[in-house]
Structure 1
Amino acid sequence: MTFTDAEQRFLARQPRGHLSTIGPDGVPQVKPLGFTVNAELGTIDIAGFAMASSAKYRNVRANPLVAFVVDEVTEQTMEGAHFLEIRGVAETVTRPAGDGHLAPEIIRIHPRRVVAYNVDPDRPGLHTRDVAAEESAAARA
């Protein structure tokens, strides 16, 4: 499983995240945007208007290494800060047309490392894990 139950609940209640890609000049670019969790594939899917002509889409095609951050502040203390950083490899995908206002092209992030801070109420604090290692171990079992 790519995301824990607590991570899935955290992502489900957030309307927006921030995608970081690397531009052609080697400079990072960060954009706020909407997203969905593709539970079947264990990915983060990012759709939008005219996606194929966007800088983020071109950046992913040239360099698929990305970071995606979702955060919230529920109170002005360290305990009130919550975030999930997903580092991974992105791909550009064309979906069948279906939703009339969104482009069929999307960015799909395959998580490789997850960094969570205060995301699981039962496990406060910072927790990191490598998703690829977990998936490899599950495949061997």
Structure 2
Amino acid sequence: MKRLLKKNRSVTLVFITLFFYANQLSAQESAIKLPFEEIDFIIGRNHSNKLIDTYEEAVKIGLVTENIESEKFYENNAVYLFNVGGGCFGAIPQEISTELENNMVMINWAAPNEPCPSVGIALSFYGQIIISKKEYPNYKSLIFKYYWE
């Protein structure tokens, strides 16, 4: 009987270990990439770090013009306006990623790791993160954070 218990403990320990590692791997893959696109720099500069969730508000700030496609878009989506870069270095879309994990949207920029150039000032990248209202009904409570890699 003791031998049977020792065998079962080993098997149980193996299953517990496998379960723990499987949970760790799934937690690492739980970040969801959110789409984003560039917007006009004047709108971005005046309204950065703002959640736009109605068609009327988007028209009011000049983000969209009045049309049926835009109205339908805002029935199903909200956008968060953000900016990245500027000063020493400008950002390009290929250097930026936006991910949602645990109610937090992380805006990542692979910022250059070198001294500032001696000439000129770079412009910021202004963009909008697109958030599906149906997939994320709690979109108004999302927290947006900037992370420079």
The verdict on a shared fold, with TM-score over 0.5 as the criterion, is no
Rg larger for: 2
The TM-score, its normalising length taken from structure 1, stands at 0.29
User: Quick one: higher RCO (CA 8 Å, sep 6+), 1 or 2?
Assistant: 2
Kindly indicate which of the two structures has a greater share of residues assigned to strand. 1
